[in-house]
Amino acid sequence: MHSLSQEIQGFSKGRLKKQCTRVTTVMGRTLLERRGDGGEVEELEEEGGCGFVEDKSLDLQVGVVRPFLLLASQDAAHDSDTLQRYKVSHVLNVAYGVTNLYADQLVYKTLQILDLPDTDITSYVGECSSFIDGAREKDGVVLVHCNAGVSRSTSIVIGYLMLREGLSFDDAYGQVKLARPSIRPNPGFHQQLQSYKP
């Protein structure tokens, strides 16, 4: 039987899997860094420099904020099984440059909003809330999405709860986070919603 010290000595560094680290620069550029054998850092490809990180794994997690109000990423909005499972009838697309795949089957509203801290997100809340209300009146289910379902769509849903249900920012944020734990409005949106007085 091998002793542990023999096993450790027999283990070569070359057998270690190379680790990649994803680094996002202040400007929103995403780089992959990998340590070479000599400990030097090599920079690999750069991905989507448009403020969002292109992730190859699908995010089909749908946050049910209200029975008629769902929050998700573009992956869920493009997945027909997910849309059917949640009985989605209306889609509010607040992403930039994301197509609506099922325009012949679902009712869409598209607002191309940029996920930038100085975008005035609260100026969109009224228009989006009217669309959500319209779907609700028809017993519909609205899926609100942006690219990642983390900042823009989240902010719209929080704004909706504040506007229509009179919730405080903290309450609205807490309820949305419970439905979709990965939410994180950008710092500008966070601040705007905190001082939003519908």
Residues designated catalytic: 146
CB atoms within 10 A of CB 92: 28
The span from the CA of 71 to the CA of 62, in Å, is 6
Query: DSSP assignment, residue 16?
Result: S
The span from the CA of 133 to the CA of 36, in Å, is 55
Q: Which helix (H) or strand (E) holds 173?
A: helix 169-179
Pick from 160, 166, 124: nearest CA to 142: 160
Q: How many CA atoms lie within 13 A of 131 on its CB side?
A: 22
Pick from 85, 87, 86, 90: nearest CA to 102: 90
Strands (E) across the chain are located at 20-24, 30-35, 41-47, 63-66, 69-72, 90-93, 107-110, 142-145
Q: At what angle do helices 187-194 and 169-179 cross, to 10 degrees?
A: 130
